A and B are shown apart, each in its own frame.
Chain A
């Protein structure tokens, strides 16, 4: 298996960033909570393929994505509705809607699989956008490992504030997922967003901590933790969020 390695570049990548990406890449190929390793790799591959999809390009150009029908150009390893999920999240995230999500569920997409797929997409995007940003070729996807999904659904997860069911910090207390929020009684909604599949929260926020900032550093403006300042970090982050039309 190819290991993520940024040595030899004219620009130094922090060791902790490389290590976090290696962990994420290794997890990508392992059986997850609801998806096998092969399915997780298929999701990552489809994520990479989505920008080449003619239907997605036509929808992106349309006033409303719902006004354009057709079939996705796809790799063929996943069900049609999961391909729709992956392509839309990757190519037009700012115009997703609750009605679109409900249609996927009504069509048979299980919300647990939906959330895990979101986590795989996010992992692939976080690493691929980084490598492309540095002008590098994308890393080969890891090989799928044998194993069965754990099928762990937090007992207290329920539909409360998002389209998907989530586990609140209060309900995580005393459960097997007590570590999920680091014992904090309140956390931002984005931290809870994938908590229906706790492993995806742990996986993705490992990358968040190293590619962005650890929780304790986010509002510690008296200390700079990176080679760019807090203000510079937030300016770059805000620009991307604006381009993605993300209101969160």
Chain B
């Protein structure tokens, strides 16, 4: 039985497998979101990362610039759908963290090869969730 995932790192990789792309997952945890390859191979990825980062940080100036970039490059509907996803994950992360749910064994197994590489295992909560290596 395949578990519904809700884990974006694993779903991004799975999406790449489906369309024959190998996305660079490390851009999601990286500090540099403006350099070459910042989008990890995802179309307009750098714009999306800039928007997500500015929305999370609440930086009005960066956010306004990111909104304009996405709307002009990807279209107005893409902007509102991106804002909806960013906001939803800002919320669902808190549900996961506040209730102390562990990562399922199945998900831990399929993400083991990249969690350490891209820095997820270094998050403070990794020890709390009992799978940090």
Q: Is A58 an interface residue (CB 8 A)?
A: no
Instruction: Looking at the assembled complex, report how far the CB atom of B63 sits from the nearest CB atom of chain A, in whole angstroms.
Output: 7
CB pair B12 A231 closer than 8 Å: yes
Residue of A at shortest CB range from B11? A234
Contact among B71, B81, B89 with A228 in the assembled complex (CB-CB below 8 Å): B81
Q: Is A89 an interface residue (CB 8 A)?
A: yes
Contact among A51, A132, A189, A232 with B42 in the assembled complex (CB-CB below 8 Å): A232
Residues of A within 8 A of B101 (CB): 161-162, 189-190, 192-193, 248
CB pair B81 A227 closer than 8 Å: yes
Residues of B within 8 A of A184 (CB): 4
Contact among A211, A215, A222, A227 with B87 in the assembled complex (CB-CB below 8 Å): A211
Restricting to B103-128, which residues have a CB under 8 Å from any CB of A?
A: 103-104, 107, 115, 119-121, 123-126, 128
Instruction: Looking at the assembled complex, report how far the CB atom of B115 sits from the nearest CB atom of chain A, in whole angstroms.
Output: 8
Residue of B at shortest CB range from A210? B84
CB pair B91 A236 closer than 8 Å: no
Question: Chain A interface mostly helix, strand, loop or mixed?
Answer: helix
- Count of interface residues, chain B, beta-carbon cutoff 8 Å: 85
Q: Is A90 an interface residue (CB 8 A)?
A: yes
CB pair A246 B125 closer than 8 Å: yes
Q: How far is the CA of A212 from the CA of B86 in the complex (A)?
A: 9
Residue of A at shortest CB range from B71? A11
Interface positions of B (Cβ within 8 A of A): 1-9, 11-12, 14-16, 18-19, 21, 23, 25, 27-29, 39-40, 42-45, 48-49, 51-53, 55-58, 60, 63-64, 67, 71, 74-104, 107, 115, 119-121, 123-126, 128-129, 131
Interface positions of A (Cβ within 8 A of B): 6, 10-14, 17, 51, 85, 89-90, 93-98, 101, 115, 118-119, 121-123, 125-130, 132-135, 161-164, 166, 184-194, 204, 207-208, 210-212, 215, 218-219, 221-222, 226-248
